[in-house]
Structure 1
Amino acid sequence: MKRIILALALIASLQTAFAQQQVKSVSAAQKAVEKAVAASQDVKKGAKFDTWVKLGKAYIDAYNAPSGNGWIGASRADLALLMADDKPLSAEYVEVGGQQMLKESYATRDYYYNAGDVLQLIVITKPIYEDALEKGAEAYGKAQELDVKGKKTKDIREGLRIIEGKFVDEAYNAYTFGNLAKASYYFEKAAEVSQMEPYAVVDTSAIYNTGLTAWMLGENERAKKFLEQSVSIGYYGEDGDAYAKLADIADKEGNQELRQSYLEEAFMKFPQSQSILVGLINFYLTSGGNTDRLFELIGAAKANEPENASLYYVEGNIYLQLNDEENAIKAYRQCAEINPEYEFGYIGEGQYWYNKAVDLQDAAAAEMDYKKYDLIMADFEKALKACVEPFEKAYEITKDDNIKVAVCEYLKNACYRFSYDDETYKEKYDKYDAIVKAARQ
C-alpha cells in the first residue's frame, strides 16, 4: 500500500506535464460535442469513421475545458500572469495526503500548489459531462470499427492514449483524496482503454492497481480477477505483492492449497520479500505444515544461485522467525563469506543483537528481584555491545547513503549507553551522532 502512495507523487506529476496549452472555453467545448453528437446520429455521417474520430476529440476537449489553462509543474506566479483574467474565487491551505497545499478554487476546478508554489494537482469540480472520457473512448472504438482500411489509425491511437492517461490521472487524484472506490473504477477504465485497438499497449500498472484497490475495498472476486491478470502478464507489484494479495484472498476463501501455491511461487521469484517470507512462515505455522518446506525452497534457490549472498540473508530471517537464533546468526555471517561487499548479512546480525538488547531492557524494567535484574542487565549490555561490530562493518561496506544513516542511528543509540564510562564508545557515539545530525539538516 505504501508503494502505491509513494508512486502517486511521480505519476500524478506526469498527468499533464506538458507546456501550457490553451483549452477551449466551456461553452465552445460543449457546443462542439453537441455538434459532433448530432453528426454521429445522422444516417450518412454516422457511417463515416471520421465523424466518430471528431466526436472522440470533442469529448476530450470537453473533459479538458473545465481544467483551465494551468498545467502540472507550472509555478503559481507564472499562472497568475498568464491567467490574469481568470482569478480564483477563494484560496485556503489544506492537507492532502499528509502534505500541506494551497488550494485555489475556480468556478470549474481546484488547483493545488505544493510548498514550492508549484501546481501539483488539478481537480475538476464542475465537468461539462460526467462521462466525457467514457464517451470519448466509445467514439474512438466506433471509429476503429468503421475504419477498416486503417486511414485514421494514428488519430484513434492517439485519442485512446490521451483518454487512458486521463483515467490514470483521475484514479490517482481519487486515491490522493481517499476515495478508493472511485480510484479503483478509474484504474479499471484505464486498463480497459489501454487494451483497445489500435492502441493496445496494456497498462500493466493500471491492471495491478485495479486489483490492489479492489482488494483494499474487500471486493475479493474483482481483486482476484485483476491480480491474476497482472501476474499472468508478468507484473507482480512491489516484491511480489500481487501474489501476497492473491494468497490472502485464497486464505479468506478457505483454499489453503491455492494460498500455499501463490506464496511458494512468489518466494521463488522474490526470495528477499519480507511480506512473502512472513506469509509463508505464517502459513506453515498455522496450517500445521512442515516448516522444513521453507528450507527446501531456499535450498532450491541457493542451488540455482550459489553466489547470491542475499539468499543466506533470507535464510537467516527464516531461522529468526522460527526462533532459531544460533542458525540465524550463522546464516547472516555466511553472507560475508559469499560476498564480502554484501552489507545485509551484517545488518541482519546487528539488528538481531540490538533487538535482543531492547527485549532484555524491557524484561529488566519489569523485574522486581534485584539479583535477577542485575543478571538481565549484564546480558543486556553484552547484547548491545555485540551489535556494534556488525553494524560498523555494514557502515563501511554499504554504498547507499540512506543505509549508512540508518545504521548510524543504531550505532549512535548503542554507543551512547557506554559513552560516559568508556572513551572508545564516547568517540564512536560522537562520530555517528554527527553523521545522523548532518543527514537531518
Structure 2
Amino acid sequence: MKRIFLALALLASLQVASAQQQVKSVSAAQKAAEKAIAASQDVKKGTKLATWVKLGQAYIDAYNAPTGNGWIGASRADLALLMADDKPLSSEYVEVAGQKMLKEVYPTRDYYYNGAEILQLIVITQPIFPDALEKGAEAFAKAWELDVKGKKVKDISEGLRIIEGKLVDEAYNAYTFGDIDKASSYFEKAALVSKQEPYAKVDTSAIYNAGLTAWMLGQNERAKKFLEESVAIGYYGEDGDAYAKLADLADKDGDQAKRQAYLEEAFIKFPQSQSVLVGLINFYLSSGGNTDRLFELIGAAKENEPENASLYYVEGNIYLQLEDVENALKAYRQCAEINPEYEFGYIGEGQYWYNKAVDLQDAAAAEMDYKKYDKIMAEFEQALKNCVEPFEMAFEVTKDDNIKLAVCEYLKNACYRFSYDDPVYKEKYEKYDAIVKAARQ
C-alpha cells in the first residue's frame, strides 16, 4: 500500500521538469503576508474584494517560500546548478516507504531524491505559517463572498485550485512517512477546498482517500461518511474497493443486510474484484447463507455478456474459494474456449497447480514417514509440471509486459526443478530465466 501511495504522490505532484519553480524568499513572503493580514484587519480595507484576494495569494506564497526553488521531477544535478547559493546543511541515505532515498536537509525543508537522483518529495520543516493553506482557503472564501459581480472568479478559482493541490501533496507526503492520521486530515481538507465556489471541481479521489485512511485508522463513522459520498458520486476506488470497505463497516455495525447489499452491488459493477469476491464468499459462509446466490449473480452477468471470458475466470475463482477444484479448472478452461487470447483463464489454472505444488512441498518437508514423503513428492512434481503448460499459454497470448514477466517468474521456478534431469525443462528454464534477468537490469 505504501508503494502505491508513493507512486500516486509522485504523479499527483509531477510538474513539467523544465518549469523551474520561482518562489519568494522566506523573509519577503513573510513580510508580504503580514502586510496582507494587516490590510484584512483594517476597517476600510477589510471590506474590499482585492484585499482578500491578495491575502489568499500571500498565504500561497508563504506556503511555497520554505520549499525553495526545487520542484518534483527535477534532477539533483540541475538543482545544484540552479540553486548554487542554496546549499544543503547535510545529506544522508534513508529508507522511505521501503525505498532507499537521498535526503538533503535545508534550513526550511528536506528534499528526498530517488535512486535516479530525481527529486521525489519536498517536506517543509520550518513553515512561515503552519496553517497557510487553510488560511488561504478562508481568504478566498471571503473574497468570493465579496465578489458579487464576479470580477475575480478566475483569480479565486486559481487560488483554490493551487491550495487544493498542495493539500493533496501534503496528504501523500504524510501517508508516505506513515502518519495516516495527518494524511487523512489533509485529504479531508483537500476535498472541502475542491468544493469551494467558484472553483467547485470536486476531488473525488481526495474524498475516497479520506474515507480509506479513516477506515485504516478505525474511525468508522468518519470512514462511512466519506466512502458513502465517494460511491454516491461514482468514485469506487480500485476494483470497487469503496464497496468492500463499506461492507466491512456494515459488518462491524452488525448490519448484515447492508453488508450483503454493498457486496452484491459491487460484484455487479466489478465482477473481477478479488476483494469483493472474497468478501461475498465470506459473507455467505459466515452468515450461513446459500452460496448459490453467487452463481445466480455470475449467471446473470454471463447472460448479459455471453462472450465475456472474464466472467468464467471469476466463476473459476468462486469455485476455487469454495474448494471445488474440478469446476474451478473447468471454468478457467472455458475462458480459452470463448476467447483464446484471454490470458487470465490460463493464469488461474497455472496458479492453482503452482500453489498446490507449494503446499505439497511444505507437507513433504513436515512428513517423517519415508513412504508417505515419496508419495507427496511425486504429487508435488506432477502439480509443478501441470502448471507449466497453462502458464506458457498465458505467456504467449498476453500483451501486458508486466503480466508476461510475472508469468516468467512462475515458469522459471517451476522448470528449474526439472532442469538438471530433463533437457526440455532445462531449455525452458534458461529461456525464462534470461527474460527475468534482462527485466531486472
TM-score normalised by L of structure 1 = 0.95
**2: CA distance between counterparts of 1:42 and 1:166?**
29
Find the counterpart in structure 2 of residue 276 from structure 1.
276
1:154 CA drift (Å): 0.5
Find the counterpart in structure 2 of residue 369 from structure 1.
369
Find the counterpart in structure 2 of residue 348 from structure 1.
348
- Secondary structure of the residue aligned to 1:418 is coil
Structure 2 CA distance for partners of 1:308 and 1:6, relative to 1, 3 Å: farther
Structure 2 CA distance for partners of 1:208 and 1:17, relative to 1, 3 Å: farther
Structure 2 CA distance for partners of 1:85 and 1:421, relative to 1, 3 Å: closer
**1: CA distance between counterparts of 2:41 and 2:370?**
91
Q: Does 1:162 align with 2:162?
A: yes
Q: Does 1:328 align with 2:341?
A: no
Find the counterpart in structure 1 of residue 392 from structure 2.
392
The one-character-per-residue Cα deviations of 1:213-240 (angstroms, maximum 9, x if unpaired) are 1111111111110011111111111111
Matches within 5 A, 1:64-213: 64-213=64-213
**2: CA distance between counterparts of 1:373 and 1:298?**
41
Structure 2 CA distance for partners of 1:16 and 1:220, relative to 1, 3 Å: farther
Identical counterparts, % of pairs: 85
Asked if 1 retains the 8 angstrom alpha-carbon contact of 2:15 and 2:73, the reply is: no
1:86 CA drift (Å): 2.2
- Secondary structure of the residue aligned to 2:289 is coil
Q: Does 1:261 align with 2:269?
A: no
**2: CA distance between counterparts of 1:423 and 1:117?**
45
Find the counterpart in structure 1 of residue 308 from structure 2.
308
One-letter identity of the residue aligned with 1:58: A
- Secondary structure of the residue aligned to 2:91 is strand
**1: CA distance between counterparts of 2:292 and 2:355?**
26
**2: CA distance between counterparts of 1:16 and 1:245?**
36
**2: CA distance between counterparts of 1:297 and 1:137?**
47
- Secondary structure of the residue aligned to 1:387 is helix
- Secondary structure of the residue aligned to 2:385 is helix
1:78 CA drift (Å): 2.5
The one-character-per-residue Cα deviations of 1:153-189 (angstroms, maximum 9, x if unpaired) are 0000001011111111111111111111111111111
Asked if 2 retains the 8 angstrom alpha-carbon contact of 1:97 and 1:176, the reply is: yes
Find the counterpart in structure 2 of residue 227 from structure 1.
227
**2: CA distance between counterparts of 1:301 and 1:337?**
18
1:2 CA drift (Å): 5.4
Structure 2 CA distance for partners of 1:3 and 1:268, relative to 1, 3 Å: farther
- Secondary structure of the residue aligned to 1:127 is coil
Bigger Cα displacement from structure 2, 320-329 vs 5-14: 5-14
Asked if 2 retains the 8 angstrom alpha-carbon contact of 1:15 and 1:169, the reply is: no
Asked if 1 retains the 8 angstrom alpha-carbon contact of 2:418 and 2:425, the reply is: yes
One-letter identity of the residue aligned with 1:224: K
1:362 CA drift (Å): 2.6
What is the aligned length?
Answer: 441
1:313 CA drift (Å): 0.4
**2: CA distance between counterparts of 1:229 and 1:15?**
30
Asked if 1 retains the 8 angstrom alpha-carbon contact of 2:9 and 2:172, the reply is: no
Bigger Cα displacement from structure 2, 428-437 vs 141-150: 428-437
The one-character-per-residue Cα deviations of 1:244-278 (angstroms, maximum 9, x if unpaired) are 11111111111111111111111111110111111
TM-score normalised by L of structure 2 = 0.95
Asked if 1 retains the 8 angstrom alpha-carbon contact of 2:416 and 2:429, the reply is: yes
Asked if 2 retains the 8 angstrom alpha-carbon contact of 1:112 and 1:121, the reply is: yes
Asked if 2 retains the 8 angstrom alpha-carbon contact of 1:39 and 1:45, the reply is: yes
1:9 CA drift (Å): 4.5
Asked if 2 retains the 8 angstrom alpha-carbon contact of 1:73 and 1:118, the reply is: yes
Asked if 2 retains the 8 angstrom alpha-carbon contact of 1:158 and 1:199, the reply is: yes
One-letter identity of the residue aligned with 1:148: V
Gaps of 5+ in 2: none
Asked if 2 retains the 8 angstrom alpha-carbon contact of 1:3 and 1:238, the reply is: no
The one-character-per-residue Cα deviations of 1:321-357 (angstroms, maximum 9, x if unpaired) are 1010110011001001111111111111111122222
